[in-house]
Structure 1
Amino acid sequence: MTQTLGVALLGTGRMAHVYGPKINAHPGLKLEVIYNPRMSSAQKAVAQYGGRPLDDLDIVLADASVDAVVIATPTDTHLDYIEKVAQAGKPIYCEKPLDQTLERVDQAMAALHAHPVPFMLGFNRRFDPDNKALRDAVQNGEIGQINMLMSWSREPAPPPIEYVRVSGGYFVDATIHDIDLLCWIAGERPVEVSACGSCMFDPQIGAEGDFDLTMTTLKMPSGALLHINNSRACAYGFDQRLEAFGDKGMVQTVNHRDDNLVRWDKQRTAAREPLKHFFLERYDQSFYQALDEFHSAIIAGRAPSSSAQDGRAALAIALACARSAREGRAISPDY
């Protein structure tokens, strides 16, 4: 029988609406509480997903039915919640990133050191079945030694400018996913990064000093080169692909479609249906698998596989990429 953990979900925004259904779908998790300092927001979420609405975090953390906490609140609140939840002795699953600055990430890690609890950072793309299969192929030696590892990650359309202004910049907001994923696959972290950026889709993004089109190269200690290309817009949908190239071969992931048939006739020579629209659809299963890893680690008494240290490293690399793009030179990350 699966051991059940009672969960408190902090937040009622977009990511909370991702995790609410996944918690309910997992046989080892039970949604006990949804917290928001605005009770009306908590009540609306409870009406959708169940549990009890609470607007007092102290009451949430004192609740004996709450065995673990999922933090799905805005990034600038993560530090405060991590400090309070860790002090209460509850295991934590936190949506990425930990924060947008290394100083605040270090404060969060200090809190976790002072109050050791199981902690997992929500780098969900590690848990996508296709991405995991590619990593397994690499780790099993199918392509020999990695020479190049490449990621294409292009979004359907630019986000609202209000989001861009608080996102931390394109590298910290979006490229960080690719950084973590590729370093996880490669099993090492870069000694040097080179990045460049442009703004070709939304002039408002450029006016904020940010990019909507970037290319990034990570140079690894082994000599392998990792390439990431990101775009805030893509006419044909949410383009998500990986390629690992080694001295014995290559493995790739392909985009997901609702219809994967390849049709050949007078009008068509390939599947023409749109790609999965955005991350909520494309990576739907990965959020469930990430929570499953969190549950399994707590029950087994081991550390979850996506750690605070992983989050700090990915942020350090992303910040180095942003600096490289601004300064037009290679940068060594501040680990």
Structure 2
Amino acid sequence: METLGLALMGTGRMAQVYGPKINAHPGLRLEVIYNPRIASAEKAAAQYGGRAMDDLASVLADRGVDAVVIATPTDTHLDYIEAAAQAGKPIYCEKPIDQSLDRVDRALAALDRHAVPFMVGFNRRFDPDNAAFREAVGSGEIGRLTMLMSWSREPSPPPIDYVRASGGYFVDATIHDIDLLCWIAGERPVEVYAAGSCMFDPRIGAEGDFDLTMTTLKMPSGALVHVNNSRACAYGFDQRLEAAGDAGMIQTVNHREDNLVRWDSRRTAAREPLKHFFLERYDLSFDHALDEFYAAVTEGRAPSATADDGRAALAIALACAKSAKSGHAEVPDYRRSHESS
């Protein structure tokens, strides 16, 4: 089995997810951990392995580095994409590519100039339940798709500093649902309508953001897609999908530590809490996403979650954010700027 040496860019929360998973993958080798603050890189290397480096040019020139995983703050993604693409290194980049469509278009222009495999970390596509759900919809099991719905509720609001840097709830969180549902439906919306409120943490509202949203996407086929998101949920990390068609309906269910349904004098259902957060609920999806990246690089093909998918999801999320502020339906901007032409 061919082995790829990876440079892990960053040492924060998402880098802490990818470091151990790269090490555990039979076809991947954690060659380098990069952070411009060498002490942070050294600390991470002591935990996960690899060599700590703080010079980007040296990382990209290193013969042991076959590809890069970008798990740094969003506002740094563009610089690393441009540098890695110019160096001819395949790229796996956490979502979103950027919070600005103009900057995403600059990244796409770099990828046009330097044809390297590029994958966006939309990990929920690679969750086994979600993949099986899409397969059932695509096979026609429920007939013609008419309605598609997603529930995505988090256990508790994040720190306010995270909210300030997140780009807003739609760009930070709803974008996952947007990409997943467009992937399942096989089409992108012609119009979106969204509404938002702040009911859990007034500091989020003070930042001009929401902690509770509902979104409707109108698809070219006429199918309607609904997303409801919440920054707080008393019973855990609520993650469900439902698809209705003219011949039936399918659903995914929440994951629990114990999925048995018990009936006795005290209860009539499983009472154990839901998987606490995305790191537990979607743990396997990150492994499968790395499988996809490895296969794409070694087979010389484009990964299934492309840069164009990343741009489209951001365009839809920004249209949703605009709709929630304006109170009107909005049309996503799918047109790339002249910089990428």
Which category describes the TM-score, using the shorter chain as reference length? over 0.9
1: CA distance, partners of 2:42 / 2:115: 32
- 2:325 paired residue number: 326
User: Pairwise mapping of residues 68-87 of structure 1 onto structure 2 (< 5 A)?
Assistant: 68-87=67-86
Question: What amino acid maps onto 1:334 in structure 2?
Answer: D
How far does the alpha carbon of each residue in 1:192-211 deviate from its partner, in whole angstroms, 9 at most, with x for none? 00000000000000111100
Question: What amino acid maps onto 2:268 in structure 1?
Answer: T
Asked if residue 50 in structure 1 is aligned to residue 44 in structure 2, the reply is: no
2: CA distance, partners of 1:11 / 1:24: 16
- 1:90 paired residue number: 89
Query: What is the RMSD of the two structures over their aligned residues, measured on CA atoms?
Result: 0.5
Secondary structure of 1:250's partner?
Answer: strand
Question: What amino acid maps onto 2:113 in structure 1?
Answer: A
- 1:35 paired residue number: 34
2: CA distance, partners of 1:73 / 1:332: 30
2: CA distance, partners of 1:266 / 1:157: 32
Question: What amino acid maps onto 2:169 in structure 1?
Answer: Y
2: CA distance, partners of 1:109 / 1:258: 41
How far does the alpha carbon of each residue in 1:266-300 deviate from its partner, in whole angstroms, 9 at most, with x for none? 11110011100000000000001001000001111
Question: What amino acid maps onto 2:147 in structure 1?
Answer: M
Asked if residue 141 in structure 1 is aligned to residue 140 in structure 2, the reply is: yes
Asked if residue 268 in structure 1 is aligned to residue 250 in structure 2, the reply is: no
| Structure 1: unaligned runs, 5 residues or longer | none
Asked if residue 246 in structure 1 is aligned to residue 245 in structure 2, the reply is: yes
2: CA distance, partners of 1:29 / 1:250: 39
1: CA distance, partners of 2:166 / 2:253: 28
The CA deviation at 1:178 is 0.1
Asked if residue 132 in structure 1 is aligned to residue 131 in structure 2, the reply is: yes
Secondary structure of 2:105's partner?
Answer: helix
The CA deviation at 1:263 is 1.2
Asked if residue 281 in structure 1 is aligned to residue 309 in structure 2, the reply is: no
Asked if residue 291 in structure 1 is aligned to residue 290 in structure 2, the reply is: yes
The CA deviation at 1:189 is 0.2
How far does the alpha carbon of each residue in 1:237-275 deviate from its partner, in whole angstroms, 9 at most, with x for none? 000000011011111100000111111111111001110
How far does the alpha carbon of each residue in 1:80-103 deviate from its partner, in whole angstroms, 9 at most, with x for none? 000000000000000000000101
1: CA distance, partners of 2:208 / 2:140: 42
- 1:117 paired residue number: 116
- 1:305 paired residue number: 304
Secondary structure of 1:218's partner?
Answer: strand
The CA deviation at 1:25 is 1.1
2: CA distance, partners of 1:270 / 1:191: 41
1: CA distance, partners of 2:311 / 2:35: 27
The CA deviation at 1:217 is 0.2
2: CA distance, partners of 1:307 / 1:283: 20
Question: What amino acid maps onto 1:282 in structure 2?
Answer: R
Normalising by structure 2, we get a TM-score of 0.97
Question: What amino acid maps onto 1:208 in structure 2?
Answer: E
Runs of 4+ aligned residues of structure 1 deviating over 6 Å after TM superposition are none
- 2:201 paired residue number: 202
Secondary structure of 2:193's partner?
Answer: strand
1: CA distance, partners of 2:174 / 2:253: 19
1: CA distance, partners of 2:130 / 2:191: 24
Work out the number of aligned pairs and report it: 334
Asked if residue 257 in structure 1 is aligned to residue 256 in structure 2, the reply is: yes
- 2:8 paired residue number: 9
1: CA distance, partners of 2:74 / 2:264: 49
How far does the alpha carbon of each residue in 1:137-177 deviate from its partner, in whole angstroms, 9 at most, with x for none? 01111011100000000000000111101100000000000
The CA deviation at 1:50 is 0.5
Secondary structure of 2:253's partner?
Answer: coil
Asked if residue 22 in structure 1 is aligned to residue 21 in structure 2, the reply is: yes
2: CA distance, partners of 1:238 / 1:304: 28
1: CA distance, partners of 2:21 / 2:144: 37
- 2:338 paired residue number: none
How far does the alpha carbon of each residue in 1:26-58 deviate from its partner, in whole angstroms, 9 at most, with x for none? 100000000001111011111111011001111
Secondary structure of 1:234's partner?
Answer: coil
| Structure 2: unaligned runs, 5 residues or longer | 335-341
Identity %: 80
258-267 vs 307-316, which moves further: 258-267
